A and B are shown apart, each in its own frame.
Chain A
Amino acid sequence: MTAAGPHVDNIPRASRPTPFHASTSALNQTTWWYGWGRYILPDVYSSMPEEMRAIRNAAAAIDMSPLPKVQLSGPDSLRLADRLVTRDLTKLAVDQVYYTPWCNDEGHLIGDGLVFRVSDDNLIISGELSLPWIRRQALGMDVEIVDLIDRLGVLSLQGPKSPAVLGIASGEDWSDLGFSRIRHARIAGADVMVARQGFTGERGYEIWVQREDGTRIWNTVMDAGQDSGIRAAGEYAVDIARIEAGLLLVSADYTGATWDDRCANVTVDPVNLATPYEVGLGRFIDLDKVDFCGRAALQAVHQGALTSRRFVGLAVAADQVAGLLQQQGRAPNVSPRVRWDAMPVRRNGIVVGRATSMTWSPELRRIIGFGCLSNEVDRGSELQIDWSDEWSTPLGAVSAQVVDTPFVKLRRSTEKSRRD
């Protein structure tokens, strides 16, 4: 969710305020901001661990507005959407959301995200998208493609108390809205579209708002969350939340299969392209449906019945990295945010993959991240990571354990929220 967005014509990066900027800038007690596509967001409001704790134990308001979103409408809208993504959208009901990957013709992931079926012939796709790619696929179709990025804001309300907060903000009961379902409501007198979804592993809602309603909706939600201990959470906490939830991010964990302007701190290398099978998304590929982008290539991979590598969880003890830094007389910051660059992983001295998204998890008290490892590496293997600084200066080896993902229990689709 935190990836630098797709390249957007001549609009400078980080040059625009989101619809919630007046509210988020008043709440931000640090100077740290994060550029995402043409927009800018708070990176840390106050304390990353406190913001993490709110996501896991209470409720958090997260500005997700920079996520690209495109509306498809007209007679061929479903046909186009179905052609773009790997899941069978003919099964997608009105007022339902699908999470799905999308691939290029070689079967490599371009990105992933959500498809909203707003009405029969009106769909919205949000995620790491390429507008030119969508337009190319639409040739000859009767469909209108509208870029919604500057029109709408998305307030993601996450955490076990999110239904209660949303209830107070909207004056409605949300206990019967199932996971991945959409409902229209009103907050602060404004129309909103609410989808039960999220990227943190917790129960949560995406509240879609018109740009001009942003400030009052944000403020109403924050007021509604007072008794629940709501906090605004910045990109740093959100990035860690998705790692703990075992969710891979294009650009950080693998390279998206289209050209874009992602930051150079990301390891861009063709070897880091990935198929959905390799990143554990095989269950979201409907090979039975009519043609879609990448189908032939994915079918071949599927029939081959194996991919040579897969993603696993990795864990490293903090004192190992601290020790390395200390030996080198380096600044004692074990985890400068989330590492979006890859570090080589070895077994018995031989490189068997790469480690990505390595970060300190304050809740789990370990350095965690993902390993994209050769299939022959078993769970119990003794692994080492060639640890480096963010500018790829080698620091030395640390030992890593293979662990299960998600790192935390996913609660986003459970029907009952915890206590309260």
Chain B
Amino acid sequence: MPVSQVTNTGIVAKWQLGEVSRFREDSRVGTAFHKSTSKRMTTNWYFNWDLCMVPDEFVNYAEELNAIRTNVAMADMSPLTKCVVSGPDACNALNYFVARDVSKVGIGQVYYTPICDAGGKVMTDALVFREEESRYRVTSDPVADWFAQNRAGFDIALEEVTDDYGILTLQGPRSRDVLEALTGQDWQSLGFSRLVKTHVGAIEVEVGRTGFTGELGYEFCVAADRADDLWDAVEAGGAKFGIIPAGEQALDIARTEAGLLISGCDYGQPRNFPSGSHCKMARNQGRLVSPYDLNYGAFVSLGKDFIGKAVLEKEQADGGGRYCLLGLEIDWRAIVTHCTDQGIAPLIGMKVDWEGRDLYLNGKECGWASSIVWSPTLKKLIAFAHVERRMATKIGDQVSVKWPVHGGSAGDIAATLVPLPFVELKRSES
């Protein structure tokens, strides 16, 4: 019996062996920076991000996170896929593919937008950068296959250019100091979400003021064959500021603290998304969301036609999404007690949970918690809460998290709804 037909053994419950893997024999597993990053790791831990493996922890994730919050860290963001949409119908096609009206994006400007399926459920979200009048670059989870499935009638070219570039991010309050030291230029005037081309030494780079940590930050986009040179240059130029490399574990916690969500980690991906994640949350079809469930209503342009519009229009008319998004602080001491009372070790994740756990209000299931993780910055166990609106919960209310314990009984762990983000966002301050 092929694995794909077996749904009750728990090994591959919902997807097909060999089919979901986009990995090919000729694929590399490292990014353009792999040679540089692998040398600097003292752990064995890697993080799978689409087809690539990036360092999860270089030396000490808590110190790496602390560098992001209080100083400056450098990190490899290359696996994020980049798809170029170009041709006479580029604007119209992209406007059909994504929820936000991208005809309004100026050349050289970036828009954030959700991308939905026909049911109005969020597949992923993306940054849309307009390079030229009829040429956009979409940075997101892999969307080229999805766009290709929906391109009928549009005169466009689609090209995935992910492997052509390395993306090195500088994050932290001193990131501008490092950038200025590296380029000899003043970067005060570059606004959030803006990009320019420049040089680091003889290396051509595109610099964008962006990031996913909540802190001031910049991203270098560099040709793949110069990536290692750029890594060395940034490391050398940043040394006097105490720059250290940060792994994915620190980045993942940083974005959670900053209240930033990830498709496939915080909510499910519709099964028809052709290049979705393998993670348990991604595959969970009971945890799909609309943009309204994530407070993304401002990014839904109902004045144009796009995939999912009909459903979202109705949803908006009915008063918005089914869920609201809040922060959650979980009583971790209760978890320790619950486990040790049963003689079991509490194994609370030092890494962000990509599976999710059910949430209850007064004994009734009311949604789920996602991205559960210990925040070394706050010394608290934090998460996102996706709570049904009809429960009319508010900040400060108590809910409980169903906490499974292997080899013991599950706990009902008290948690408090709190505002997002968990840390103050500084990325768009001057």
Contact = CB atoms under 8 A, between A and B. Distances in A.
Contacts of B48: 25, 28, 30-33
A43 B348 contact: no
A264 B44 CA distance: 10
B195 to A, nearest CB: 28
A222 B379 contact: no
B28 A322 contact: no
Nearest to A359: B345
A21 interface: yes
Interface stretch (A137-145, A228-236, A240-248): A228-236
Interface stretch (B10-18, B198-206, B298-306): B10-18
A215 interface: yes
A385 B21 CA distance: 44
A332 B35 CA distance: 34
A219 interface: yes
Interface string B318-358: 00000000000000110110011001111111110010000
Given A12-B30, A226-B3, A318 B53 contact: no
B38 A13 contact: yes
A333 B38 contact: no
A181 B215 CA distance: 59
A49 B30 contact: no
B27 A27 contact: no
Nearest to A24: B21
A219 B11 CA distance: 13
A341 B127 CA distance: 42
A331 B348 contact: yes
Interface string A253-296: 00000000001110000000000000000000000000000000
A332 B332 contact: yes
Contact of A326 (B44, B333, B344): B333
B280 interface: yes
Given A219-B18, A332-B335, A365 B407 contact: yes
Given A33-B47, A215-B18, A329-B379, A334 B347 contact: yes
B406 A43 contact: no
Per DSSP, chain B at the interface is: loop
B194 interface: no
Contacts of A321: 345
A358 to B, nearest CB: 11
Contact of B45 (A25, A34, A50, A318): A34
A231 B11 contact: yes
A309 to B, nearest CB: 27
A329 B375 CA distance: 12
Nearest to B37: A12
A113 B10 CA distance: 33
Given A332-B335, A333-B349, A222 B17 contact: yes
Given A14-B38, A219-B3, A229-B9, A333 B346 contact: yes
A4 B47 contact: no
Interface residues of A, number: 60
A185 to B, nearest CB: 22
B53 A33 contact: yes
A165 B207 CA distance: 54
A309 B42 CA distance: 29
Contacts of B279: 29-31
Interface string A330-361: 01111110000000000000000000000010
B3 A222 contact: yes
Contacts of B278: 25-29
Contact of A22 (B25, B248, B332): B25
B76 interface: no
A365 B29 CA distance: 36
Contacts of A394: none
Nearest to A225: B11
B87 interface: no
A28 B51 CA distance: 12
A62 interface: no
Contacts of B421: none
A21 B23 contact: yes
Contacts of A331: 348, 350, 374, 376
A390 B59 CA distance: 10
Given A12-B38, A26-B20, A31-B279, A40 B12 contact: no
A362 interface: yes
A22 B21 contact: yes
Contact of A391 (B6, B60, B344): B60
A411 interface: no
A32 B43 CA distance: 13
Contact of B42 (A15, A26, A232, A263): A263
A159 B14 CA distance: 25
A17 interface: yes
A120 B2 CA distance: 40
Contact of A26 (B21, B335, B376): B21
6 contacts: A21-B29, A32-B47, A226-B11, A322-B345, A333-B349, A391-B59
Interface of B: 1-3, 6, 9-12, 15-21, 23-25, 27-30, 34-35, 38-39, 41-49, 53, 56, 59-60, 248, 278-280, 283, 332-333, 335-336, 339-340, 343-351, 354, 374, 376, 379, 381, 406-407
CB-CB nearest 6 A-B residue pairs: A264-B42, A26-B21, A318-B345, A49-B406, A319-B340, A334-B345
Given A332-B348, A335-B347, 20 more contacts: A4-B44, A17-B25, A17-B29, A22-B25, A26-B20, A26-B278, A29-B279, A30-B48, A31-B279, A33-B45, A35-B38, A35-B46, A40-B29, A219-B3, A230-B11, A319-B343, A322-B346, A333-B347, A334-B345, A335-B345
